[in-house]
Amino acid sequence: MQERSRVTFDALVEACAGLLVERGYARTTTNHIAARAGVNVASLYEYFPGKDAVVAEVAARLVDRVLRRLGRGAAQVVEGGEQRAVRRWIERIHDTLLREKKLVAVFLYQFPHTGQLDSIESLGPRLLEFSQEIRRHAAGFVRSDLSDASLQLLINLVTSTIMQLVFDPPRGISRRALLDELVARTEEWIRD
């Protein structure tokens, strides 16, 4: 039954996601995953070639979720008019990340094989493409001579600051101040 398969497959992926969050990558084992999914280890190997394949599926779904949520946000940002668009956009990214904080941290800081998780790897480039698209559609309030390099830099500024706010909020400076400053800087950056 295809139904039964789907259920088992999903159970495995979700069990894995949960364990990654609770125990971290290194201490998440195939036996744990299968046990929490309520199936035998061997079933895991029916659906995945090995442990990292399950983890990869978790990553793929995570990336999907994040991009989809950001996609919806982008539409609203552009449609919603210039007014506070940047602020809305940045806060949308911030909230999206905050929601998946623990899981994102696993792939950012724990998954040991650099260059082996296509979906995660693709996030950076996708973000750039994304921004380029926004730039094109937002000709009204974005300066026309914004180069790719400059855009990439801006993305770095935004993402790294959001990451800092999400994963390691600085002690000496208030969240609010940092976010406000980030918004201000970004508006200045993109505006003519």
Partner DNA sequence: CATGAATGAGCGTTCATTCAT
Partner DNA sequence: TATGAATGAACGCTCATTCAT
Residue ranges in contact with DNA by CB under 7 A: 1-2, 4-5, 7-8, 27-32, 38-46, 50-52
Nearest-approach distance from CB 9 to DNA, in angstroms:
8
| 149 lines the binding site for a second copy (CB under 8 A) | yes
For residue 172 the two structure tokens come to 């000496």
Binding partner of residue 108 among DNA, a second copy, none, CB cut-off 5 to 8 Å per kind? a second copy
- Nearest Cα neighbor of 19 from 43, 45, 54 is 54
Residue type, 22: E
Terminal CA-CA length for the chain:
59
Q: How far is the CB of 107 from DNA (least distance, A)?
A: 16
CB of 25 to a second copy, least distance (A): 6
How many whole angstroms separate alpha carbon 177 and alpha carbon 18?
Answer: 34
- Is residue 1 at the binding interface for a second copy, with CB under 8 A as the rule? no
- Closest distance of CB 52 from DNA, Å: 7
- Between the CA of residue 191 and those of 82, 118, 129, what are the distances in Å? 11, 34, 19
Question: Using the rule CB under 8 A, is 25 a contact of a second copy?
Answer: yes
Give the SS3 label for residue 34: helix
DSSP-based three-state secondary structure for 184: helix
Q: How many CA atoms lie within 13 A of 147 on its CB side?
A: 3
Among 2, 83, 114, 144, binds a second copy (CB under 8 A): 114
Choosing among DNA, a second copy, none, which partner's interface includes residue 178 (Cβ < 5 to 8 Å by kind)?
a second copy
Based on the shown chain and the rule CB under 8 A, indicate whether residue 130 belongs to the binding site for a second copy.
no
Name residue 134's amino acid. Answer: I
Residue closer to a second copy (CB basis): 30 or 152: 152
